[in-house]
Structure 1
Amino acid sequence: MTRIYARLGDRFTYVGGLPTAETFALPYLTMGVTTYSSAIFNFVPKFALEFYAAVRAFDNAKVYKMLNEFVLPYIQLRNRKRGYAVSIVKAGMKVIGRDAGPVRAPLTDLTDAEIAELSALVSRVAEVEKLAA
């Protein structure tokens, strides 16, 4: 990708999906990829926008703080079971009161205990969002 960007510069457009793209945002930005698709934007949009702004500003300290406080624990939860990349986004929507319904088979929804864990993560981010506002 670096080779392609070096040749094409601003004419290069990359459109692709990665699970939890936030973990790739800084290295991709250094290769010329300026945007990414964020699944967490669906249920913690202020956090996602703040994270993106920190990435674009190369505020590495803030990016890594946000990764450690929310994104990495979110990934640990998502990685518990195959198919949770979809399930956890639907659970996040449920946590904020916008239930998107269950996942389709063969996928499974998060357990009640896992939804409680996700809810605690979302609440922590929401509290930070309220303090920053």
Structure 2
Amino acid sequence: MARVRVDADGGPPPVAGGRHKGSKRPHTNATVAGVRRLIEETTLTHREIAARMGVANGTIAKWTRDFGWQRHPFAPAANDKMPTARAGRRLKLRMLGNKLHLLAERCAAELWSSPSVDLDRLIEAMQVLKMARLEYMGNV
């Protein structure tokens, strides 16, 4: 009987020693760098990248969102980015939080660029900022 060894990926070797058991960061920097390379340079889906790198699909989606990685132009869009009527509660809250944050930034930019202070506009901007903060606190 002959045994054949197949390497999953010919990428760089993992960091020597790895992480200690129970670490808050169970993946090495080399793994994160490999996932980022596949996200930004290939058209693979998140599931295919997860299978290749040995990382959970949700972890890849979280890293992509948190680190601001940009997908390859021809890569399929991630499911957690699709705005639909059937979207889950968390996706709807995250999208609402992003919209409120952009609205608050736009109001602040308009206030900074105007020569005089409009009290009503200032109050509106502060209310939008307060809603965005409350939304962020609810999502964390």
Q: Same fold (TM over 0.5)?
A: no
Higher relative contact order (CA 8 A, sep 6+): 1
By percentage of residues, which structure has more helix? 1
Higher Cα Rg, which structure = 2
Under a length normalisation based on structure 1, what TM-score does the superposition of the two structures give?
A: 0.29
